[in-house]
């Protein structure tokens, strides 16, 4: 047994402090976010955590208008797949950008979102 390089809990602790973290494979160099046990490219178990700049562009997005119960008060809200400048992608909630300005190709910056003691991944305007 080996200690995990970075657990989901540790990922979100760093995220809460404003730092988006990926893992890089010490064997083949593959970058992954979020962390996982084995490298999907070479199946090695040799990850190192790497801080990301937190900037990227929207590759797809939607505006959720019919929301699950827990998010009903937030609707409508935008969710997007963001391709980070290091090349990996992650899903996040778009904040502080008018819904009609959200677009594919729009540059965004990571921002931790907090609700009910839970940190989740958000992206806001770059500027």
CA gap 113, 16 in Å, rounded = 8
Choices 14-22, 23-31, 46-54, 86-94; region in contact with another protein by CB under 8 A: 86-94
Examine residue 10 and tell whether it contacts another protein (CB under 8 A).
no
# of chain residues touching another protein (CB under 8 A)? 35
Binding mask 46-85 for another protein (x = CB under 8 A): -------------xxxxxxxxxxxxxx-xx-x-xxxx---
Examine residue 19 and tell whether it contacts another protein (CB under 8 A).
no
Phi, psi (degrees; rounded to nearest 5) at 21: -125, 130
Q: What is the DSSP code string of 43-104?
A: ----EEEEE---EEEEEEEEEE-S--GGGGGG-SEEEEEEEETTS-EEEEEE-SS-GGG--T
Binding site for another protein (CB under 8 A): 8, 33-34, 59-72, 74-75, 77, 79-82, 88-93, 104, 115, 118, 120-121
């Amino acid at each position: 047994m080996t200690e995990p390089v970075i657990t989901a809990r540790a990922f979100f602790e760093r995220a809460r402090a404003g730092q988006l973290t990926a893992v890089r494979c010490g064997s083949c160099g593959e970058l992954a976010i979020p962390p996982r046990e084995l490298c999907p490219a070479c199946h090695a178990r040799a990850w190192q955590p790497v801080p990301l700049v937190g900037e990227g562009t929207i590759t797809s997005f939607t505006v959720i208008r019919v929301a699950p119960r827990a998010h009903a008060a937030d609707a409508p809200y935008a969710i997007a797949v963001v391709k980070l400048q290091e090349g990996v992608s992650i899903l996040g909630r778009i904040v502080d950008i008018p819904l009609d300005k959200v677009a594919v190709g729009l540059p965004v910056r990571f921002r931790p979102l907090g609700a009910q003691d839970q940190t989740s991944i958000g992206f806001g305007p770059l500027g």
